[in-house]
Structure 1
Amino acid sequence: MTSKSNRPLDVFDPQIQTQVQDSLQRQRAFFATGETRSLPFRRTQLQHLKENITAATEDIYAALAADLGKCKTEAYLSEVALALGDIDDALKHLSSWSKPQRVGIPLPFQPAKGKVVPEPLGVVLIISPWNYPFHLAIGPLVSAIAAGNCAIVKPSEIAPYTSKLLYQLIGRTFADDYVMAIEGDAETAKALLAEPFDHIFFTGSSTVGKLVMRAAAEHLTPVTLELGGKSPCVVSASANLEVAARRIIWGKTFNAGQTCVAPDYLLVHRSIKAPLMAAIAQTIQAFFGEDMVKSPDYGRIVSDRHFQRLQSIMEEALSSGKKIVGGRCDAETRYMELTVVDDMPMTATVMQEEIFGPILPVVSFDEISEAIAFINQRPKPLAIYLFSTNRKEQKVVQTQTSSGGLCFNETITQYAIPGLPFGGVGTSGMGKAHGKAGFETFSHRKTVMGKSNWLDLPLRYPPYKNKLGFLEKLL
């Protein structure tokens, strides 16, 4: 494999498009050698990536703390452990994922054999977001490598410390004619999207997802879009309120609410709303103390622009609804307290837009059918959470709603399980990530059929004359 150092692409360089084209051309040339198709080669690359991530753990923690205020425990759970787990899962299952699958051939087409063979797509582009800036770059990259592709990774410039770390880590791990990272802003992303990649894997907002899909359409490039939406959390009258409060607040405060599958709003049975709100207030204090701002375990908003957006949403919510807890923030440190609000008008921004931060509106219902109708009147979410010990309620929510994923008595941890395909439906995304599903995302499942020469029935060949009746019976 050609050994070349990764060279940065300056977003202000007028030759950026030429540089992008050069990078893509070199990766296409390396892919054409066939080396990435070798399973031993893929295993070696994944093992090397694992070793370098392990060696850089403290640097990863420091970058995530600088970008998002993540404590080490949260950074490990949500970024490092997931990345290493993805690699281990790929190494464990690579042989079985890559194995051709035999397909039965109907009698009229015998003697013949059929199989489906996974093959790499070529050179893929991974555009990762800022909220989990390490794992959401490395996770798709692991799948791309496991499937035998070359890859270019574009980290988010909104998390600059992690972006730089990824650039350096990938540069140390791979030759850039195989895998490389390109730093830059939206102009760099536009330059990349103008090129004919074999697949684009994008994680981010629906607004930008539409731009990615539009650009991909120019080259008929397939896309995976991991987007978001307003993920509801339903708490029924049968729920264990103490457990529900802990798991809801943990899922909502993890990464300061900047999680695509975080509970976006609560749908609470009216009969248990008061005790649930009390349990939530107690849980917040138990997790973070009397004053959240002093807790070392609570993160910060990623940027001034995102803080200002959330502050505007929070102020509108507090003026139009009833505050349960929270309401404080500090622009200088980008601290925003978890704020729970009740009795919100449906026209409020907090009920119209994905929040993507530590604000949690509450909506009441009297029957589970009302909660289901409320969810179904809105775009399909990335996740639905139901806290209920009633099996009938669980079944009716499962069968009468549509979402990327569904969890009973839990929040957000479905993302951490490699065997569960992760992705949205409708406006919350398309395509799947993780485990075998991620491998298949970056693979082409090629149909292969072979037929023997020793038997060549004349029935299928012209002239057909009186063959139709026999063929109708045979087929």
Structure 2
Amino acid sequence: MSSSTSFHTPMDEISQVHERARQAYRSGKAKSIAFRKEQIAQVSYLLKDNEDRFVEALKSDLGRPAQETVFFDFAASYLNIKLMYDNVEKWTKSRRAGFNLSFAPMSPRVKAEPKGTVLVIGPFNVPVFMLVVPLAGAIAGGNAVVLKPSEKCPACAKLMAELVPKYLDNEMFHVVNGGIPETTRLLELQWDHIFFTGSNSVGRIVAQAAAKHLTPLTLELGGKNPVVVDPRSDFHLAAKRTLWGRVSNAGQICLAPEYVLIPRASQDAFVEAVKEVYASFYPEGPAKSDSLSRVVTEAQATRIKRLLDESQGTIVFGGDVVVAERYVAPTLVKDVAPGDSLMSEEIFGPVLPIVPVQDVDEAIEIIKSRGHPLAIYAFSRDKTFLEKVFDNTESGAAVANDTVVNGGVPGLPGGGIGASGYGYATGKELFEQFTHIRVSLNNPAWVDNIGFGFRYPPYTKKENEKQLRFLSPALPPRPKKVS
């Protein structure tokens, strides 16, 4: 077996792992809230006790600076894990349904219950965060979990496979490593929920596989997230926060800004602001900087190089790609047309195209002509400008005067719409992905004597009408004019 595949799970073991997880779920051990809280806490210490090892693994896999790993993988993970731990008891309690006098004697209630055995397929770009946070959410929901880390980050995947059995229940929680064959085998099996983070193209494959078993699905995808810049805004702030969002993790963030829309008359001024910020980020040049990650594979570098080579835009700075080193220099390209190669797909690298437009109306039309992005960013001091951009577009997030940070804000569920995915990756909404609402009621015999005896044959028209009218609420006022 080659070194590149030596950590892959043997194909004949995958079905066994699946069955072990299913049997562990059926044992009922995860019904205990104490068990769930213990395991959620263990997830946090799996990460905390091994931070240095994860930093080194991601340095190996992505050439990533430690600060970016702490920011993107650790901090946001701890916030969400703690949220699950603190709230699992409250979220899982049975609660009364909305009050209705006619049905109150039946004690209608609702309760969040686990879906069963779930599969979490992680990405390469935030390989810790997008595994351990869904894991914590699934545990909070009471599920058994099989994790599939990205094979493109082998050091991180091997570390995860080593640590999960050391920290978590060995029957309930498992790791399967491998590439396309192993993932294909996993997707052939029946799951009670699949949580996938990755590209749109692979997301479609996962969705098709899930549909065969009618398996519910969460898709965390990407898209081309636009930045709309008001010509009256603070260009230095917009440039700094946009370039940071574009070059962090070498642009390999699903929430990263993908292109800038700005009035043509203001393009050059904004370009100068970005150049100043770039010089402050990399005073000795990006190639020697310890603050720039590498793209994940040589194939990724080659793809980005092709997009740059085919672009009709003007490179302002950067443009260097060293495929063998997986190095893509932070690059700014101006005068990019909507039909340019750099606009043809998600770049997922540290390349920022600027698309000049006539005005904000044209910017909005360009956004609306494309698939719904995961986020739309807008920089302006003018509330009316921001409202115009956000009220006339659709996206998973609408963020004013910053980029990317919304992914880590407590209380803001991360998720897309349409081509950027569906479902949520953080917050209480993540817990809800892994549970279903089970309804219950207990109807006493005496209820038939006071209101529900009419349902039994033989029917009496007059009595039926009387009782049914009592059950029916008053209708809303009739509209005076129907549009």
**TM > 0.5:** yes
What is the Cα deviation at residue 9 of structure 1?
Answer: 9.5
Q: Is the partner of 1:107 in helix, strand or coil? A: coil
Counterpart check, 1:113 vs 2:110: no
Q: Is the partner of 1:406 in helix, strand or coil? A: strand
Q: Is the partner of 1:119 in helix, strand or coil? A: strand
What is the Cα deviation at residue 416 of structure 1?
Answer: 0.7
Which residue of the partner structure matches residue 408 of structure 1?
A: 400
Distance across 1 between alignment mates of 2:162 and 2:283:
38
Q: What percent identity do the matched residue pairs reach? A: 35
| 1:215-234 Cα shifts (integer Å, max 9, x gaps) | 11111111101111111111
| Higher deviation after alignment, 340-349 or 391-400 | 340-349
Distance across 1 between alignment mates of 2:236 and 2:212:
52
Which residue of the partner structure matches residue 391 of structure 1?
A: 383
Is the 1:9–1:182 Cα contact (8 Å) retained in structure 2? no
Match of 2:280 among 276, 286, 307: 286
Which residue of the partner structure matches residue 186 of structure 2?
A: 192
What is the Cα deviation at residue 11 of structure 1?
Answer: 4.9
Runs of at least 5 residues in structure 1 that lack an aligned partner in the other structure: 1-7
| Higher deviation after alignment, 102-111 or 323-332 | 102-111
Q: Is the partner of 1:301 in helix, strand or coil? A: coil
Which residue of the partner structure matches residue 38 of structure 1?
A: 32
Counterpart check, 1:53 vs 2:44: no
Counterpart check, 1:354 vs 2:346: yes
Aligned residue type for 1:288: Y
Is the 1:310–1:355 Cα contact (8 Å) retained in structure 2? yes
Runs of at least 5 residues in structure 2 that lack an aligned partner in the other structure: 473-483
Is the 1:11–1:187 Cα contact (8 Å) retained in structure 2? no
Aligned residue type for 1:220: L
Distance across 2 between alignment mates of 1:455 and 1:445:
25
Please give the root-mean-square deviation of Cα atoms over the aligned residues, in Å.
Answer: 1.6
| 1:55-88 Cα shifts (integer Å, max 9, x gaps) | 1111000000001111111111111222222211
Counterpart check, 1:442 vs 2:466: no
Match of 2:454 among 452, 455, 459: 459
Which residue of the partner structure matches residue 92 of structure 1?
A: 86
Counterpart check, 1:253 vs 2:247: yes
Q: Is the partner of 1:108 in helix, strand or coil? A: coil
Distance across 1 between alignment mates of 2:57 and 2:373:
31
Which residue of the partner structure matches residue 470 of structure 1?
A: 466
Is the 1:9–1:183 Cα contact (8 Å) retained in structure 2? no
Counterpart check, 1:373 vs 2:369: no
Match of 1:183 among 153, 177, 201: 177
Aligned residue type for 2:353: P
Which residue of the partner structure matches residue 67 of structure 2?
A: 73
| Higher deviation after alignment, 342-351 or 22-31 | 342-351
Moved segments of 4+, more than 3 Å: 8-13
- The two structures have a TM-score, normalised by structure 2, of 0.93
- The two structures have a TM-score, normalised by structure 1, of 0.94
Equivalent positions of 1:139-158 (< 5 A) are: 139-158=133-152
Residues 96 and 252 of structure 1: is their aligned pair in 2 closer, same or farther, counting only changes over 3 Å? same
Equivalent positions of 1:254-333 (< 5 A) are: 254-317=248-311, 320-333=312-325
What is the Cα deviation at residue 451 of structure 1?
Answer: 2.1
Distance across 2 between alignment mates of 1:226 and 1:316:
29
| Higher deviation after alignment, 107-116 or 125-134 | 107-116
Is the 2:264–2:357 Cα contact (8 Å) retained in structure 1? yes
Residues 256 and 144 of structure 1: is their aligned pair in 2 closer, same or farther, counting only changes over 3 Å? same
| Higher deviation after alignment, 92-101 or 112-121 | 92-101
Is the 1:9–1:184 Cα contact (8 Å) retained in structure 2? no
| 1:208-256 Cα shifts (integer Å, max 9, x gaps) | 1111111111111111011111111111123211111110011001101
Which residue of the partner structure matches residue 104 of structure 1?
A: 98
Aligned residue type for 2:218: T
Q: Is the partner of 1:332 in helix, strand or coil? A: helix
What is the Cα deviation at residue 171 of structure 1?
Answer: 2.1
What is the Cα deviation at residue 110 of structure 1?
Answer: 4.0
